[in-house]
Each structure stands twice: as C-alpha cells, then as structure tokens.
Amino acid sequence: MSGIHIHPHDILDEGPEQIVKRIGVLRDVRHIFTAANMMFERNPYPAGILPHNPKRTFVQSTGTFHLAVDTASVYPDLYQKVDETIRMGADPLRDILERTRGTEYEIVPWLNVLNGYFTGAKLRNNRVIDFRGNEVDHWLCPNGEDVLPMWSRLLAEVHREYGCRTFMIDRIRFPDWAGKRTNPGGLFSCFCERCRKGMEAHGLDPRRMIAVMENVADLLANKQFSQAQSVITESLLFRSWIRFRQNSVTAFVGGLIAETKKYADVSFWLDLWPPSYAWLLGQDYTELTKHCGVLKHFPYHKLGGGADVQGLIEYFAADAAEREEAFGAFMRLFRFDYELSYREFQQKGYPIRFIGEENGKVRALSAPGTQIYSGVQMWNLPAQELAEAIIAAKASDADDVIYYCYGWAEEELFATAANIM
Ligand SMILES: [Zn+2]
C-alpha cells in the first residue's frame, strides 16, 4: 500500500473533500503524510506553481508549527513557533482527520524534527555550530540537551490532542549544504559544547578535526576538488568523525522513540536520505532500523537524489571546466559510477538505475524485515518520466512507493500514477 505527502496549505486552500477526491484516483494509497510543521522552503521547490490550488500560486513556508498545540507551554525553554493560521483558528490536521475518519486512509503527521523556526530561552544551547564557530541557521543539534525531551513531550501532546498513533519523523540528521543560501560550511558541524565533549569521549580531538576541515576548505577554495575529496574519503579522522555523527543521530532517534513511547502508545516511520548520501549526514541505516522497522527515502533520480548538487558545484566552480572537475570529485565522494558529465546531469539528472540501486542499498543495509518505501518525485517532470520512476521503484527491493507531493503535482500526473498501479 502506497502513500502521499500533503501540506497544511493544501488542506486549508483546497479543502479536505477535494483532497480525498483527487487522492482517491490513486487507488492503493492508504497513508496520507500530513505535514505538522514546515521548513523554510518555497512550495513548490524551487520554482513553478501549485497547479490545483484555488487561492495561491506558491507558498513560502517559514519553519512554523501547524498543529493546534501550544508548543511554548509544552516545553517553555525550547519550542517551535506556532503558525499564524493556527493562531487565527485554522486546524488543517483536524480537518483531514475528520474527513477520513472511518475510511481506509490513515493520517500520519509528518514532522521535521531538527530544522525549523525554534525559539525559547535555551535555544542557544541547542543549536548546531559549524567548524568555524558559526550557528547554522534554524538547525537543532541531536545532542542538544533539550531537543529530545522537548520533542518526546510534544509528540505525546499531539497524540493526546489528535489521537494519531503513527508519526513520520524527518530531518533527523545534521545539516546538509542547502538552505536559503548554499552553505557548505553547515556540513562540517556540529561543534557545540556537548558535541565537543562527546567527540572527546569518543577519542576524537575537536581541534584536530577542525584543522582537517580547514584544510579541506582551503583545497576547495583553491579548486583542488579531487584532493579535497581524497582527504574526506581517506582520512581516519574524518572516518571517526562520521562515526560520531552517526552514533549521535542513532542515539537521538532511538531515545526519542523510546521516550515518546513512555508517554503514548505510538509507532514511527523514518524519513531518510538515499543511502549514498545518508552516511555523511549522520544516518546509519543499519543502526536506525534496529529502532524502527518502517522507513521512506527519496531516490529522485532526476534531482540528484534530492541533494542540491548544482547549488554545491556552482558555489565552488567558476567556469565549465571547473564545474566538470568538481562534479567528478562529487561523484567519487558518493561512489557513483555513472558515465555522466555535469552538463548531462544538469539536463537529465542521474540515470533511472539510481532508483533500483539505492533501494538495493537500503535493503542490504537495513535490519531484516524492514518495510522500505521509495519516494517518487511527482512534480516538475513529464508524465512519461513519472511512469518510468514508479515502474523502477516497484521493480526494486522497496516494498512500495510514496508520492511527493499532492500539492505540487500537476493534474495529469495523478492519472499517470493511477494507470500504473
Ligand atoms: Zn552539537
């Protein structure tokens, strides 16, 4: 049984009746992943319009919380800002829950855990700090003292308020290089006080680690892309640091699941990066799937697997030759063996075999019996290419697909997906 993602503005602008009707075309969809909070992102991303929204052509979301829960009273020292629409009385999650009660659909609140508009007296102690001591905008550290207790209490409160028994947790990782502006430095994080102490306990000297990262930054600034890639790939310090990051995320996710279950009888889905990238961001499929047996990832082959590849290449490279060289180093860092130039990548993305290969890696890395869902890009692509992506995902080691996403998808893509099921 498949699933689809929706956003609060879809529910508020189109109404739950219209949404259920349009999703109904996709006969095997059972899970509707309803965003409970938003990132700082243009909808749709990065350009285009919301094709069937009757009120707006696009929505710029601002990292706010979209459920009728007073986040500040649940955990006063650290909380996410509640969206203005909710303060004015809107309650999109309740609207869709009420419309689907007694139907075959399960509404699963989908939460961006470590990224959003957070505030509170203890925010400073819980933020991600990069290797140069800068705060990384809008990111919480998985090792932050208040992050786990805040989220476990908030999820228990959401369960109490709405009765939802399943949550999808997303953005359970360290920052990547994308954001409002491309920020590769965000990748070399976190060096908050708790992370530094944790590194030392792990036998890793944070000052030595920072020195290696400064070296990589110098190499990149001097356009020595291959050398920078070699340091990241071969340095034992880097390997140890990556292990520390993965342990941090695994401990956070395992702790969040265990702690929330103390308050409420709920279960979880994980939303992870495709495995070729996930390791660098702190996601260890093998360890994470010991804590949670259901996951989704998003091997969007046209979009470089969901990574902002072009943003990164163009940040460092000034001309066509440099871009090709930087792209070659990027391919080697993530062990992609495609015969692909940067120019070809810009036009077509990765080859379609990316979908099957990433799902194969997820299956190999995950605990036996893990339910694996392959995210399918359902916007900004021709119908024929959507069809190819669904067929590739269904033929892969994944159990089924999850469409991303309802509000961004052109009308004809619903019919295309329906015809393949
Ligand atoms: Zn930290």
Whether 395 maps to a domain, the answer reads yes
Whether 161 maps to a domain, the answer reads yes
Cα–ligand 1 centroid distance for 196 (angstroms)? 7
The tens digit of pLDDT for each residue in 374-420 reads 999 999 999 999 999 999 999 999 999 999 999 999 999 999 999 99
The tens digit of pLDDT for each residue in 137-170 reads 999 999 999 999 999 999 999 999 999 999 999 9
User: Residue range 84-88: average pLDDT?
Assistant: 98
Cα–ligand 1 centroid distance for 194 (angstroms)? 6
Cα–ligand 1 centroid distance for 95 (angstroms)? 37
How many structural domains are present in the chain? Answer: 1
Cα–ligand 1 centroid distance for 310 (angstroms)? 28
CA distance 220 to 229: 9
The tens digit of pLDDT for each residue in 220-271 reads 999 999 999 999 999 999 999 999 999 999 999 999 999 999 999 999 999 9
pLDDT of residue 185: 93
User: Is 281 in contact with 306 (CB distance < 8 Å)?
Assistant: no
pLDDT of residue 234: 97
Q: Report if pTM > 0.95.
A: yes
Tell which residue, 269, 276, 277, has the closest CA to residue 174: 277
Domain that holds residue 382: 2-126+137-174+251-317+351-420
Cα–ligand 1 centroid distance for 248 (angstroms)? 9
Cα–ligand 1 centroid distance for 242 (angstroms)? 13
- 83 to 61, 163, 165, 369: CA distances (angstroms): 10, 21, 23, 38
Whether 333 maps to a domain, the answer reads no
CA distance 311 to 315: 6
Whether 109 maps to a domain, the answer reads yes
Cα–ligand 1 centroid distance for 193 (angstroms)? 7
User: Residue range 43-69: average pLDDT?
Assistant: 97
CA distance 128 to 140: 5
The tens digit of pLDDT for each residue in 6-44 reads 999 999 999 999 999 999 999 999 999 999 999 999 999
Cα–ligand 1 centroid distance for 50 (angstroms)? 37
pLDDT of residue 179: 79
Cα–ligand 1 centroid distance for 129 (angstroms)? 6
Q: Answer whether residue 180 shows pLDDT above 90.
A: no
Cα–ligand 1 centroid distance for 245 (angstroms)? 9
User: Residue range 345-363: average pLDDT?
Assistant: 97
Whether 344 maps to a domain, the answer reads no
Task: Indicate which CATH number applies to the domain containing 163.
Answer: 3.20.20.80
Cα–ligand 1 centroid distance for 338 (angstroms)? 35
pLDDT of residue 181: 84
pLDDT of residue 400: 98
User: Residue range 268-278: average pLDDT?
Assistant: 98
Cα–ligand 1 centroid distance for 321 (angstroms)? 37
Task: Provide the b/e sequence for 352-383 (b: ≥16 CB within 10 Å).
Answer: bebbbbbbebbbebbeeebebbbbbbbbbbee
Calculate the average pLDDT of the chain. 97
Whether 388 maps to a domain, the answer reads yes
